[in-house]
Structure 1
């Protein structure tokens, strides 16, 4: 079989397509023939040698946590799936239910467990899940990280009601899923972006308010205006230190800010005293459990939510796909096909 591999000195140019022996499933494992994988910002950090839990501790690695494939063989004792089932890989292979634990959080695909970036791969039967039949393979491959992160932030961690205001920063995978889920749930949505073209596409997906943060860097002002001065109930914070100050200005008293990314860099130092002033909740968020994933899939099927796949490449062109992600060219998700 062919597989993607990356190792020191790290970087997009170090991604290679290698020949490797076909794996075989052991007891409790399934062998999956992969059809598609999707890119996450974590994958970019990993191949660049900037992901603390991965390359810094050695290599080479098989990247990608998010994939769609078909079960080709099962090991002894497998009961969750059968040969021929189409499944998604789960980001955390051992986080089945309940709150996050250390054991669950160290079971992420890509590192420390070899990822889905190969034509054939074995996974624990507990680490795959059946998926809605109406979705394409490309769409299924976008669900395990970006979709589930948005889902958990909106419906597991926050206590939102229809009519509440949700701010989605940018138009990457998590934020676009957040927009789609929020729209289906009856939330008022505010989308920020540096591109008017991308904002227009967000409007077509149901965004209620649009803010170009390049022309309006103090985007908390329009958020306050849209909410009658009250502020947003929920903010999907993907920028990190580079945007957290504006998020604190935009959130309402007692509101919820979900910290899921650091794409805007370090930014200014954050003063935690500002949290005291408005009783806001600032919560780190790292994907979710299998139970959360399956609840999300039921909602996707009920509302016929179609994940937005913006760019598709053959898996042998992974370098081009990562370059597109690094350049911020995408709206929604980037996918590799096998």
Structure 2
């Protein structure tokens, strides 16, 4: 793959659409941009009306009201876009299908990829904006070959793992004003500006799941709850289960098995056979991962020696990445535990995000 060619001199950015979820991060994003002299237009997406009053959700009900109050405080235009149908098709249906296949999906990445940086970006262009800004804790740095994606300065808040699917074209258009700030500093700015959500708790849960995620899967795909066998690595039946959607790779609790000499963990899930394979903890270790749908934000040659993250909260480990016809092969220099299909593997060189892909198998 050829390196990203230098972009032509960009025209000055004057009008920016700020994605405002109703939380403190996106509100401070809009405020900082306005302080810098840009014409800011706030846009809030209504993604899921069923979450109108649930604590920890986002983009619905009270959050939309909070975003509007902040926009009024700042004196900027504010629009609410109904994206419920797009969100259901692009994110919720994908989430359900992933669990039905025995995977462990990450809906936040799909939301960024397909809704916020796909559909919303188009709306921002329709509004005549020169850029789209979000409250993600990542940095966009101008490099010799175009815009680069880097981790946020606040390592505890870094969200680069969730943005690996951002394309180079999208990155050229995006801005991330909070990438060089810490969360306490953002709240301090919000308090100084008198924003109503300065102390608002962060959204933490999957916005469209009110309790047990399996209830969402069963409601939208009833056959995903098909019962089956729990087997060991030799194929011996150890017990029964109520559906593969109840399990993820590395899971120990909730297997309904007892009397074993050592604890058992979920090693693999075969959705077609409705079978859950269990075994000892050491069997969870893996060094080789095959990825599909790989997105490159830098020259793949840089990933020959890099570090890789297989979960958002895991520390990165040294890795070698090689491009394949259908994705990439990752060799981890230290074994990782519980690498799960449906999760993402993201490559880094120092603070730069080189790219990443979806884990197909390990």
Could you say whether these structures have the same fold, taking a TM-score greater than 0.5 normalized by the shorter chain as the test? no
Structure 2 length as normaliser, TM-score? 0.26
Larger Rg: 2
Structure in which a larger fraction of residues adopt strand = 2
